[in-house]
Amino acid sequence: MPRFRPLATALGLAVILFVSCAGAAREPGAPPRPLSAAPRNIQFTHLSRLNGLSQNAVNAIAQDRTGYIWIGTQEGLNRYNGYEFTVYEHVAGDPKSLSNSWVWDILVDRSGVMWIGTDGGGLERYDAATDTFEHFRHDPRDVHSLSGDRVRVIVQDRSGFLWIGTDGGGLNRFDVSRSRFTRFQHDPADPNSLPNNRVLSILEDERGAIWVGTDGGIAILDPSSETFRFLRHDPNAPDSLSSDQVRSIYQDRQQRIWVGTSQGGLNRFDLATQTFQHFRRDPNDPHGIGDDNIRALLEDRQGTLWIATESGLNEWRPNQGQFVAYRHDVTDPGSLINDRVSTLMQDRGGVLWVGTYNGISKWNYASDAFNYFSKDPALPGSLGREVVTAIAEAPNGDLWVGTYGQGLNRIDAKTGDISQFPHSEDNPQTLSEARIMALWIDPTGIVWVGTRNKGLNRLDPRTGQVQRFVHDPADPHSLSANGVTSLLGDPDGTLWVGTYGGGLNRLEPGTRRFHHYRRRAGDRSSLSSDRVLIILRERGGDLWVGTEDGGLNRLDENTGSFIAYRHDPDDATSLGSNSAWELVETRDGAFWIGTMGGGLNRWDLADRRAGRPRFTRYTKADGLVSDMIHGILEAADGALWLSSNRGLTRFVPNRDTFQHFDESNGLQGSEFNHGARLLARDGVMYFGGTEGLVSFHPAHVRQNQHSPTVVVSARDQLKTLGGGDSGNPPSTPIKLDYRSNFVAFDFAALDYASPTKNQYRYRLDGLDKDWIDPNGHRRVTYSNLSPGDYLFQVKGSNNDGVWSERPARLAVRAVPPPWRTVQAYMLYGLLVLAIIGAFFYREHRKLRLETRQRIRMEHEIALRTREIAERNVELEKAILELETASLTDSLTGLRNRRFLYDYIEKTVDEIEDAHATARSDRQQPVAVNPSSRSVFFLMIDLDGFKAINDKHGHHSGDMALLQVCDILRSCCGTSEHIIRWGGDEFLIVGRRHSRPGIEELAERIRQRLADHPYQIGGGQIGRLSGSIGFACYPFIPGHPQALTWEQVIGIADHASYIAKNSQRNAWVGLYSTPRTLPDDLVDRIKSDLEQQVALGQLRITTSIRGQLLLQDRRKREMASG
């Protein structure tokens, strides 16, 4: 029987029933126990020449004090910041470059200085300030120089001395302060000398002794006596060193010495017995060391011992006394890049770096919480990278896994054995299809299996018998559709079946009869869509159904009716999408709905109970990496784990924070499937996707706590200007030349767990007010900076959002052009003063000459000015007289008609504006002076003037007219204008008084005209009177457009005619009434005034006490006879 091999968790713990398709999370139990010799889920990421590495054969890896990773290869030294490489090589003719491009070893000493061992170029010291190298070479003439130029290993002891092992030149102790080497070499004549001059490893133990690994065994040097003792291979002693070709010596935290050899495997030295335990490759032992050629050893900060071999990377499991091998697998892009491992290093962020002969593999320690089920090629039935679509847990703890195309698998909780339940077209006792979409296991252990297109299956694991349920068009009680998407069982044995296209089905216990709940067109109480994706029974008892295109539905099982909750584009609190893929009720009673395209939605218990469809949405804009949510599980700490097409997400609801996990965190793939999720009773979570089944305990998922150093550099169009990092204060300001005034800042956070997820914020003090998110970019540019001092600051985070303690800062000084410097402005000032002085001197001379001329000219100008002024006064007087004459009657001195035309246009405009204002603000009336709303026209036709003119002559008539003018002036006020309208006609225009006021004015004029004795010459007296008519504009109050002012003057003139025709020496006034109609009003007044008055269309006031003759006398005579 195929055997299941989980990566890090055993399934031997008891588990409880889990409703796979409903997504109900249970309280977790104890964390899982680890397996014995199963490999970790190590998903390596790789660096090679394809990424910019100078050469793939990696010999050494180190991290400097700033945080850069330095990589020594057979062709160049590389500095890596997580994104790109800076390569250092030997450059012929450049004494400050590397002396040789082949790098064997790199050491960063306790003072932060980096030392490089090269093959043929000796020892190098890197000067970070100048970005150059200082060389220490072998000099045959100097016994205190380096003994050989092929430097293979560099170590610093507790006293600060450097110990350098060379290939062929023996051992060197370097006193850096004195720049003096002391040599320890093999002397064939001295058996107590170094056993071999090929030194490939060095170790200082806890007592200060120096262990030297050579091709002649191990030599242990006592620094105080400078004497050696030796540990060598003895064929007659099985507990001696396994091989004299020593390649690596390492002391772990428990002070045990580990020795890696060439061809002799791994040795562990017992200090008490002075004996070695051997670990050799055994082809028959799958848990033995993978190769006898050991290249490097490393104990990480978690206490794990890693062994670099010629056949992959090995991990030592001391509790089981076994090794776990990690090798290159051409089918697995996350496997080791190459099996020839040469060097190991763990950086300050915890990332393990593995150097090989074909590049670098690095592994984020925080990613080993995710475990996959590894397929054993020798076991055809083992579960591997199949597409997992459904997961369920049986009462006995067995795990059931449904795949898309590979059928159903059962993993025995006790033994780990896998049982397969395939589909066979020829055997009706097998599953109806190999594409499994949903699983449900009832309390008796019966497994219900929903398939992609072949209906529902009932599997009895004890007997292996299968019953099939498919749609039968002839049977109304059969399954409504063959695509089964979700399953849910009730405690009474009722099974609810969601189908794709057939709605919801209820299978009664012990029967084959299905009751259908379908969408009915036009019936809002029916299911909103027949494409059912998820079913959930909440703790309150209600049944909920999520659909692909109809939103979320609640079923009233008593009436069979549904209430649908849909997406409303105009309501931000509605469901985010009508595709409700996933539904979970958390411990606080809230619903969490995963949608397709609408992100994650929360529906609080209080709103749900109150019937308020008020949803809170979380989308990519809030921090999600995908708005398509496939699965939701609740962890013990209340966090929600979400699966999507872009990995897994941990969401903390009370903080609204998101943490994302993808391949860089140990996932084999980022695409997960709808409904493939399970929370087991032991707290382990399972998610299924396109790359198989992943499991993890949420409590074991670690966060990267490393606070990275941030580095920044600045450059213009031509060169690098300077740089800095967050661990040091800003240096001397970099200067921007005015000719370019362009600067680009490049920055990087030196955390290597997943550099693409590192985040940044920057600000240029002196220009930017707030921190700016560069949106994934690591370069920002500024141009045309105004001259002055600036401070560029940038802070960065690691992949889990832990930010640098301080920002990296770089001072910038934008240098002004020469013509804008202080010195230039001083020169400008002196030049201006000189120009001003010269100007004033010249002007002073000119002034003295011009003063005399000015005095003479001023005298002449004054004379001319007086003359011009006098002429101007005369001209203005003449113009005024002409203008007055044009508006004045030459005989009487009164205003003439031209004056009226100028005056009345302005007056009418004011009246119309006043009425418009009153109409537009009737709710809050504007206080308008009544006199500003109307004007009156009073027409005077003299009675008897013609007789004086005819009898006594025009001179007497003129004398009479002048006396009439005096009378009119005495009767009128300053607001009335008297106009000579014609020969014996006068028009008075004034702002409207009250009606009695106008009548009083007419009466006053009538009386004075009639009572005055007119001196007409020759001692004779003439008699005159006046026939007066008047009317107001607007004639109809409130309607200035009804009649024009000219028409109103015509009405006044007609009124004076009525007065003259009726009696003379009288006045008549015409007024409108509320019943006055404006149409043809003037014609009606002139033709039929009497009838208009009788109809109430007009009203007349007059000084005549008798009968008014309203009709033209001629018309009246014609009518009478």
The rounded distance, in Å, linking the Cα atoms of 957 and 983 is: 10
Query: What integer pLDDT is reported at residue 532 of this predicted model?
Result: 98
Query: What integer pLDDT is reported at residue 382 of this predicted model?
Result: 63
Assess contact for 172 and 184: CB atoms under 8 A: yes
**What is the distance in angstroms between the CA of the first residue and the CA of the last residue of the chain?**
143
The rounded distance, in Å, linking the Cα atoms of 630 and 670 is: 12
| CA atoms in the 13 A half-sphere facing the CB of 927 | 0
Structure tokens at 73: 């290869």
813-859 pLDDT tens trace? 998 888 877 787 888 888 889 899 888 888 888 888 878 887 888 77
Tell me which amino acid residue 5 is.
R
323-381 pLDDT tens trace? 999 999 998 899 999 999 999 999 999 999 999 999 999 999 878 788 887 565 555 55
Query: Domain spanning 713-820: which CATH class is it, in words?
Result: mainly beta
Contacts of 809 (CB under 8 A, 6+ apart): 712, 724, 726, 729, 730, 791, 792, 793
| CA atoms in the 13 A half-sphere facing the CB of 745 | 29
3-state secondary structure 838-903: HHHHHHHHHHHHHHHHHHHHHHHHHHHHHHHHHHHHHHHHHHHHHHHHHCECCCCCCECHHHHHHH
Residue 956 DSSP SS3: helix
Residue 977 belongs to what H/E stretch? strand 976-980
Structure tokens at 94: 């450049």
Scan for tokens 């040091």, then name that residue.
Answer: 728
Assess contact for 597 and 635: CB atoms under 8 A: no
The rounded distance, in Å, linking the Cα atoms of 662 and 839 is: 79
The rounded distance, in Å, linking the Cα atoms of 410 and 394 is: 10
980-1033 pLDDT tens trace? 998 889 999 998 667 888 999 999 999 999 999 999 888 899 999 999 999 999
Instruction: Please count the helices (runs of H) and the strands (runs of E) in the chain.
Output: 9, 72
The rounded distance, in Å, linking the Cα atoms of 149 and 103 is: 12
Query: What integer pLDDT is reported at residue 1082 of this predicted model?
Result: 84
Query: What pTM, to 2 d.p., does this model score?
Result: 0.69
Query: What integer pLDDT is reported at residue 25 of this predicted model?
Result: 31
Contacts of 945 (CB under 8 A, 6+ apart): 957, 960, 961, 983, 984, 1024
Structure tokens at 249: 């010596």
* Residue ranges in the chain whose pLDDT is less than 50: 1-36, 923-931, 1113-1121
The rounded distance, in Å, linking the Cα atoms of 521 and 530 is: 11
Whole-number CA gyration radius for the chain: 55
Residue 630 DSSP SS3: strand
Structure tokens at 651: 């969401």
Rounded to 10 degrees, what is the CA torsion of 659, 663, 669, 674? Answer: 0
Residue 324 belongs to what H/E stretch? strand 322-326
Q: Where are the domains of the chain?
A: 388-700, 713-820, 832-886, 897-1120
CATH topology of domain 897-1120: Alpha-Beta Plaits (3.30.70)
Most distant CA pair in the chain: distance in Å?
A: 179
Query: What integer pLDDT is reported at residue 418 of this predicted model?
Result: 86
Query: What integer pLDDT is reported at residue 492 of this predicted model?
Result: 92
So what's the architecture of 388-700 in CATH? 7 Propeller (2.130)
Residue 79 DSSP SS3: strand
Query: What integer pLDDT is reported at residue 930 of this predicted model?
Result: 47
